[in-house]
Structure 1
C-alpha cells in the first residue's frame, strides 16, 4: 500500500481516523476502491467499514440505474 503525507491546517478538528475514513469512503463512493480495499485502508473489516459509511454520508447502494436493474435481476 502506498503512503502519502498531507499537510492539514491545525484548526481542522479531525482525528486521523476520521480523515482516513472520509478519504476511503469517498474513494469507495467514486468506485476507485472496493469496500474491502477501503476497509483495509482504514484498518476495519469490510462489514465494519460498510456499517460506518452512513456516518460519513455515503450510501452502500449504487446511484446507477443499470446497477439497480442488475441487482434486482440477480436477487
Structure 2
C-alpha cells in the first residue's frame, strides 16, 4: 500500500482539538468526502478510503452537512423525459 505523509505545524492539533491519529482519520474522511462530492469516486471507494463501511460513510457525510447522493441533473432530465 502506498503511504502519504503530510507535515503539519504542531499547533494544528491544539487548534483543531485532535490527537495525531484522530486528525489522520479526519483528513482521510475529508479527502474521501471531497472526491465523492466531485463525482471522482463511488460511495464504496470513498468509504474504503475513509476506513469505514458505506453506512458509516453516509452518516459521516450527513454530520458534515454534505449530500449523500450525487444527482446528475442532465441524466435526471433525460429520465423524466422518457416518462
Fold shared, TM-score > 0.5 on shorter chain: yes
CA contact (8 A) 1:25 1:56 kept: no
Instruction: Report the structure number with the largest CA radius of gyration.
Output: 2
Distance (Å, rounded) in 2 between the aligned partners of 1:56 and 1:71 = 30
What's the RMSD between the two structures over aligned residues? 2.4
SS of residue paired to 2:68: coil
Relative to the length of structure 2, the TM-score reads 0.67
> Structure with the greater relative contact order (CA < 8 A, sep ≥ 6): 1 or 2?
1
Question: What's the counterpart of residue 5 of structure 2?
Answer: 5
Please, what TM-score do these two structures have when normalized by structure 1?
A: 0.72
Q: Distance in 2 between matches of 1:49 and 1:61?
A: 12
Question: Between Structure 1 and Structure 2, how many residues are aligned?
Answer: 73
Larger helix fraction of residues: 2
Residue 3 of structure 1, CA deviation: 2.5
| 2:21 is aligned with 1:19 | no
Task: For 1:64 and 1:6, locate their aligned partners in 2 and report how far apart those are by CA, in whole Å.
Answer: 33
Structure 2: which 5+ residue stretches go unaligned?
none
- Name stretches of at least 5 consecutive residues in structure 1 with no aligned partner: none
The alpha carbon displacement at 1:2 in A equals 3.5
